[in-house]
Amino acid sequence: MEPRLKVAFLFFLSLILFVSCNTDDIEKGFAFKNISITVEGKGLINAENVDLSCETECILTVSPSKIVKFKAISADGYIFSHWAGDCYGDEECIISSENDVNIIAVFEERESEEYDQNQKLILSLNSDNINQQKTL
């Protein structure tokens, strides 16, 4: 085969291969998205389908097509309040965006069940069919 013909053939073959490539495959191979995670209060963020356990601030890098489910787990004395940033609500957080995102998990302190000095507890006692109340 003549050299010019070989070059033209290889160019044509390369052009066909390039045009037939799926851009999603190229994107998956070279581009990633960052998910920035911030925990406010005391708790833990786990992701169901990737290896992640975050207590303060974390960055998770995944392929753009990856869907990630986050769950908030409260520390002792705290309750999960809500998601903020690119997640919202008080259930699990599901990220399916192809762009970088920021999520915030907000945990709040549980109200104490202890009584302070200004609160009174009144008990009704029944002794010999006589109702009595005592203030403690």
Q: pLDDT tens digit string along 25-77?
A: 444 455 789 999 999 999 999 998 888 899 999 999 998 888 999 999 999 99
The arithmetic mean of pLDDT across residues 20-28, rounded, is: 46
For 22, 32, 43, 45, 125, the CA distances from 84, given in Å and listed in that order, are: 35, 22, 15, 13, 48
> What pLDDT score does 81 carry?
96
> What pLDDT score does 44 carry?
94
Reply yes or no on whether the pLDDT at 136 is more than 50: no
Reply yes or no on whether the pLDDT at 117 is more than 60: no
Reply yes or no on whether the pLDDT at 80 is more than 90: yes
The label of the residue with tokens 């699990």 reads 92
Quickly count: other Cβ atoms within 10 Å of residue 41's Cβ.
Answer: 17
